[in-house]
């Protein structure tokens, strides 16, 4: 496990909320991402974009957090996008066969345009 603190930058653009976590997402800090996502979902933006460009590693607790966020966002018709996903993170998403349920874009700009 890594340092317990996960830095998360949050910005609003075009009725979309973009969350940019920095660092590994694991059991020790996935609750921080969960809280940030819940707060963002509560504001009911049209889109939530999670920019993974600074996340080199994510474990199953991070996946659980993303699944929970997807379920909550679907309840209020908010679209959830994953962007800039590193190959190491993409592999756990793919192995879990979750690449078929998440909308994954190369960049946040592409997600904003959808």
The pLDDT tens digits for 20-79 are 999 999 999 999 999 999 999 999 999 999 999 999 999 999 999 999 999 999 999 999
Residue 2 clears pLDDT 70, i.e. is over it: no
The pLDDT tens digits for 63-107 are 999 999 999 999 999 999 999 999 999 999 999 999 999 999 999
Structural domains of the chain sorted by starting position, each given as residue range(s) with its CATH number in brackets: 7-113 (3.30.750.24)
Q: What pLDDT is stored for residue 16 in this prediction? A: 97
Residue 33, Cα to own-chain centre: how many angstroms?
Answer: 8
The order of strands in the sheet holding 103-105 is 7-13, 16-22, 47-51, 79-83, 103-105
Q: Which residues are CB-neighbours of 31 under 8 A, at least 6 positions away?
A: 65
Of the pLDDT bands very low, low, confident and very high (cuts 50, 70, 90), residue 1 is: very low
Q: With a threshold of 0.85, does the pTM exceed it?
A: yes
- The two tokens of residue 81 are 């996008």
Asked if residue 83 lies in contact with residue 52, where contact means CB atoms within 8 angstroms, the answer is: yes
Angle, nearest 10°, between helix axes 60-75 and 87-95?
A: 70
Angle ∠(71,53,113) on CA atoms, nearest 5:
65
Q: What pLDDT is stored for residue 66 in this prediction? A: 98
């Amino acid at each position: 496990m890594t340092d317990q603190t996960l830095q998360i930058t949050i910005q609003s653009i075009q009725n979309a909320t973009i969350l940019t976590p920095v660092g590994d997402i694991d059991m020790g800090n996935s609750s921080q991402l969960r809280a940030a996502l819940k707060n963002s979902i509560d504001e009911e933006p049209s889109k939530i974009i999670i920019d993974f460009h600074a996340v080199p590693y994510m474990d199953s607790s991070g996946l659980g957090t993303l699944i929970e966020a997807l379920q909550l966002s679907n309840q209020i018709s908010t679209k959830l996008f994953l962007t800039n996903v590193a190959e190491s993170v993409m592999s756990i998403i793919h192995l879990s066969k979750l690449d078929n349920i998440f909308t994954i874009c190369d960049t946040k700009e592409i997600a904003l345009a959808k």
